[in-house]
Amino acid sequence: MPDNEIILEIKNLSKVYDKEVLKIEQLSFRRGRIYGIIGPSGAGKSTFLRLVNLLEPPTTGDIYFKGEAMSMNGRAGTPVRREMTMVFQKPLLFKTSVSENVAYGLKARRFSKEEIKARVETLLEKVGLKELAGRYAGTLSGGEAQRVALARAVAFEPAFLLLDEPTANLDPSNVELIERLILDLNRDKGMTIIMVTHNIFQARRIAQEVIFLHEGRIVEMGDTEKIFSFPEDPRTRDFVEGRMIY
Amino acid sequence: MALLPLLKGIAEAFHLIFTLDPYLVKIVLLSLQVSGMAVLLGTLAGVPLGAYLGLKPAESTHFISKLLYTLMGLPPVVAGLVFYLLFSRMGPLGVLGLLYTPAAMIIAQFALALPIIAALTMIGIRGRGKEVQETARTLGAGRLFTAWTVMRESRFVIFGAVVTGLGRIIAEVGAVMIVGGNIEGRTRVMTTAIVLETGKGNFELAVGLGLVLLIISFVINSLLYSFQGGGRDSA
């Protein structure tokens, strides 16, 4: 697949719970880019990620992955899930060792034992947790747990990585380590990344393109520097300049 | 001295246990067979049912949840009565000839264990199961691997549900008495034998059987406690 090819496309997507929380008419993501989705609380950022990751069905609309419409139904969703993954704000680690957690996605894909061992070791080294490989995951700190979750998500080298507030409530050293890992994954593996964050500084540091969501609608999107330096919509300006309370 | 028969009973009970009294051994083995089989069947049906319900939104399972909670408190004599009527010669299942057989006892105890195992599994999985399911799916697990993961992550809850179910049925007397008939050598189990021996004034054997019941209960609960890491991780 050539660079800049559209990997994910959204058409007329909406989600209604008690009221409509998300409505996107058209949106596309190009391969190998890092996208930051920013916006105040309740803007529909996490809902958007859940729809893209097939965790919930949209009320209306379609999502196309590599040109094919995605389906939530049973086995039909599994091939798509095997090419994309998501790291939650508060990741759930399985009740087993750190290394078994990182190996999970590889086992689901029936990688060989040797390959699993090699990848787990490499990744734990990368996230600075090699010494904790045999530790029970339930005893990790918040920052360590988030690093394990990220290592687990990227172990099988998905084409598409969705991150929901990956560094919320973490200390600066953990934030720096995770941000560096995200940038490495994008540069070295060509991974397409969508990161939801309420941290506008983080979005500016990492994302190449930014989408500003407000009340479930895209207000503005484009090149990160353009959005932060020359926002066109007054709501975007209020948000990136810290005047919008969220 | 009201305590004297009890102390004498305990001493005699230990004698019966340590000499492996054939009558006592036979009753204990039948009890374990009947209740073991009932809880096994209850587990095979109740765990998947509870897991399925636990992963459904709570609002969509109101009715079946209430039904399970109600059946958790089903009096064993009522269960016994229902199955007696079903299995009696004039009953709809009378042709099967199950009344006063261990099979009838297993079925009645299965009916008592099932709602307990299903409801406790449902409650346990509802707490964390959805999150486990979503995490497994996002990591590319297929349906079977996801289901296995949910079960494995809920193993403490499921084990607790099964042990609770076993505790309930091995100690009940009403259902097995009615559908089994307490026939010596065929359908006499520990609880029905205790009732009988107490009525006959044979306290030594009654206390011996009671002690065996307590020991079995202690072993099962000790296993559960160890399995849960000494109470460290039971969530």
Residue B201 CB-half CA count within 13 A: 0
Closest CA to A214 of A187, A238, A186, A241: A238
Residues of A in contact with B140 (CB under 8 A): 78, 81-82, 85, 105, 108-109, 156
> What is the set of domains in chain A, with CATH numbers?
6-89+160-240 (3.40.50.300)
Q: Is the pLDDT of residue B232 over 70?
A: no
Flag whether residue B143 sits within 8 Å of chain A, measured between CB atoms. Answer: yes
Q: Which residues of B touch A74 (CB under 8 A)?
A: 143
Structure tokens at A16: 């209604």
Question: How much of chain A exceeds pLDDT 70, in percent?
Answer: 94
3-state SS, residue B153? helix
Chain A residue with minimum CA distance to B146: A108
- Chain B window 171-200: which residues touch A at a Cβ cutoff of 8 Å? none
Q: Determine contact: A33 vs chain B, CB below 8 A.
A: no
Kindly report the number of other CB atoms within 10 A of residue B53's CB atom: 21
pLDDT of residue B5: 67
Residue A55 in contact with partner chain B when CB distance is under 8 A: yes
CA distance A174 to A105: 23
Distance (Å, whole) CA B29 – CA A151: 51
For residue A87, give the DSSP letter: E
A186 lies within 8 A of chain B by CB: no
Express each pLDDT in B125-149 by its tens digit.
998 899 999 999 999 898 899 999 9
Which residues have C-beta within 8 Å of that of residue A102, sequence separation ≥ 6? Answer: A119, A120, A123, A124, A148, A151, A152, A155
CA distance A170 to chain B (A): 21
Contacts of residue A39, defined as CB under 8 A and 6 or more positions apart, other chains included, come to: A45, A198, A212, A213, A214, A239, A246
Given a cut of 80, is residue A235 above it in pLDDT?
yes
Q: Give contacts of A82 with chain B, Cβ < 8 Å.
A: 140
Q: Does B136 lie at the interface with A, CB-CB under 8 angstroms?
A: yes
Whether residue B3 is predicted with pLDDT greater than 80 in this model: the reply is no
Q: Does A29 touch chain B (CB under 8 A)?
A: no
Helix or strand (DSSP H, E) at B133: helix B102-138
Q: What's the token pair of residue B100? A: 């006063």
Q: Which amino acid is at B158?
A: I
Quick one: pLDDT at residue A170? Answer: 84
Mean residue pLDDT of chain A comes to: 91
CB contact under 8 A, A95 and B138: no
Cβ contact, residue pair B132, A92, below 8 Å: yes
When pLDDT is averaged across residues B115-133 and rounded to a whole number, the result is 93
- Distance of alpha carbon B185 from alpha carbon B188, whole angstroms: 6
Which pTM was predicted? Answer: 0.81
Average of per-residue pLDDT across A171-191 = 92
Helix (H, G, I), strand (E, B) or coil at A95: coil
Residue-by-residue DSSP string for A146-209: HHHHHHHHHTT--SEEEEESTTTT--HHHHHHHHHHHHHHHHHH--EEEEE-S-HHHHHHH-SE
pLDDT class of A1 with cuts at 50, 70, 90: very low
Q: Is the CB of residue A110 less than 8 Å away from at least one CB of chain B?
A: no
Percent of chain B at pLDDT > 90 equals 66
Instruction: Show which of residues 119-138 on chain A sit within 8 Å of chain B, judged by CB atoms.
Output: 138
Q: Which amino acid is at B55?
A: L
Looking at per-residue pLDDT, the higher value among B227 and A112 belongs to: A112
Higher pLDDT, B177 or B4: B177
- The better pLDDT of the pair A9, B8 is held by A9
Asked if A91 has any chain B CB less than 8 Å from its own CB, the reply is yes
* ipTM at complex level: 0.87
- Partnered with residue A30 across adjacent β-strands are A6
Best of A46, A80, A94, A110 to disrupt the B interface (most B CBs within 10 Å) is A94
Rounded CA separation A167/B122 (Å): 33
**pLDDT class for A245, splitting at 50, 70, 90?**
low
For residue B235, pLDDT over 50 is answered with no
Distances in whole angstroms, Cα of residue A111 to Cα of each of A80, B139, B215: 18, 14, 47
> Of residues A99 and A72, which shows the higher confidence score?
A99
Question: Domains of chain B (ranges plus CATH)?
Answer: 23-227 (1.10.3720.10)
- A154: closest chain B residue by CA: B139
Band (pLDDT 50/70/90 cuts) for residue A135 is very high
Main-chain dihedrals φ then ψ at residue A85, nearest 5 degrees = -150, 170
Structure tokens at A146: 């988030």
| B229, pLDDT greater than 70 | no
Instruction: Convert the pLDDT of each residue in A62-98 to its tens digit.
Output: 999 888 888 665 555 666 777 899 999 889 999 999 9
Average pLDDT of chain B to the nearest whole number: 90
Q: Which residues of chain A make contact with B131, given a CB cutoff of 8 A?
A: 92
Q: What would the pLDDT profile of B63-113 be if each residue is shown by its tens digit?
A: 999 999 999 999 999 999 999 999 999 999 999 999 999 999 999 999 999
Residue of A nearest to B141 (CA): A108
pLDDT over threshold 90, residue A36: yes
d(CA A95, CA B153): 6
Answer yes or no: do B149 and A95 touch at CB < 8 A: no
Tell whether the model's pLDDT for residue A222 goes beyond 80.
yes
Would an 8 Å CB–CB cutoff place A105 in contact with chain B? yes
